[in-house]
Structure 1
Amino acid sequence: GIQVSLFIDSEEDQIKAAADIGAEMIELHTGAFALTTGEKHESEIERLREGADLGSSLGLQVNAGHGIHLENVKDLFSVKNLKEFNIGHTLISRGLFIGIRAAVNEMKVAMQGYPQS
């Protein structure tokens, strides 16, 4: 079968609705996280943390994506229960300059130490 993921905000009502309709997987939108700094950035991390915990408790596979790059990926290490990061745009755009293999290797190094759930 084909796996389907719902791309949603880290909001309780959206996460619960995904579980209610029988979704197996969600991707939490990290756009706001990627665009913020300081206290707002920490607030977005906490929002993602709460969403990932809720989704996991409802039996969903929880992924995250949008705007994740080399400089901010480590900020997501405190968000448990994330199974995958969708980072394709970063890899492709960086790969145009240094090659796709080198871009993937850079991201792998940046993600070393991620506590996989």
Structure 2
Amino acid sequence: MVKLSVNINKIATLRNSRGGNVPDVLQLAADVQKFGAHGVTVHPRPDERHIRYSDARNLAPIVHTEYNIEGNPVKKFIDLVLEVKPTQVTLVPDADDAITSNAGWDTLKHRQFLQEVIAEFKRNGIRTSIFVDPVAAMVEGAKETGTDRIELYTEAYAHQYNLGNLQGIAPYAEAARVAGSLELGINAGHDLSLDNIKYFKDNIPGLLEVSIGHALIAESIYLGLENVVNMYLQRLK
């Protein structure tokens, strides 16, 4: 079964909009695991506009499944990951002012930098994944960084699926085949939803894990959190 990691950034956004601690991100993390999710993802940004660095620390004893921390590997982020020691760190090249992640790494241009960062995480027993576009050269470049996995950036797939273009899956399937041939693990995330997740899962060989936040939380407003988590789990079987 493909694993489901629930990104809880949007819960922190809602909390921060009013101050206080409602909704409680720690309780939400405990609940999604109780409902069957295989992991919890957070993506702290330098301005801490949603998940705070303190949240990432406080979640460590709460997440008993897989704990995935995403972010741009600036020094503050690297120090956080080495302190918390999550199951997995996912490196994302987002700018400080990015609303959300919007591109994968150029693994050729940034190979040496990624090699150094990844080596440090792996010395500390942390599984590594890097965010990449579905381009064979970028997947091949990822192999040279020493990463354990890649995370396919799926916004373009989701957009094409919504337009009815099922061939939008093709570059992702090819990237997955390249990754498999290089013995890289495959994760995926960004704009995946109840509507498009099953088709993606059925057509991506070797898919191990998906990280879903915005759509899952939005769908839960209408359908309920426990119900939505289980709907994803059914689609990922």
In the superposition, the TM-score normalised over structure 2's length comes to 0.44
Give the whole-Å Cα distance in 1 for the aligned partners of 2:126 and 2:214: 23
What is residue 96 of structure 1 aligned with on the other side? Answer: 221
What is residue 47 of structure 1 aligned with on the other side? Answer: 171
What is residue 18 of structure 1 aligned with on the other side? Answer: 142
1:77-109: CA deviation from partner (whole Å, max 9, x where unpaired): 122111112222222222233332111012122
Figure out how many residues of one structure are paired with residues of the other and give that number: 110
Match 2:212 to one of 59, 65, 87: 87
Give the whole-Å Cα distance in 2 for the aligned partners of 1:12 and 1:63: 15
Segments of 4+ moved more than 6 angstroms: none
1:23 partner amino acid = T
Unaligned runs of 5+ in 2: 1-124
For the residue of structure 1 that corresponds to 2:233, the secondary structure is helix
Give the whole-Å Cα distance in 1 for the aligned partners of 2:181 and 2:173: 12
2:128 partner amino acid = V
What is residue 30 of structure 1 aligned with on the other side? Answer: 154
Give the whole-Å Cα distance in 1 for the aligned partners of 2:137 and 2:236: 30
Unaligned runs of 5+ in 1: 113-117
What is residue 235 of structure 2 aligned with on the other side? Answer: 110
1:86 partner amino acid = S
More helix by share: 1
Give the whole-Å Cα distance in 1 for the aligned partners of 2:130 and 2:170: 21
Give the whole-Å Cα distance in 2 for the aligned partners of 1:3 and 1:95: 30
For the residue of structure 2 that corresponds to 1:95, the secondary structure is helix
For the residue of structure 2 that corresponds to 1:23, the secondary structure is coil
Give the whole-Å Cα distance in 1 for the aligned partners of 2:164 and 2:225: 31
What is residue 115 of structure 1 aligned with on the other side? Answer: none
| Structure 1 position 9 matched with structure 2 position 133 | yes
Instruction: Tell me which structure has the larger Cα radius of gyration.
Output: 2
For the residue of structure 1 that corresponds to 2:187, the secondary structure is strand
Give the whole-Å Cα distance in 1 for the aligned partners of 2:138 and 2:195: 28
Percentage identity across paired residues of the two chains: 34
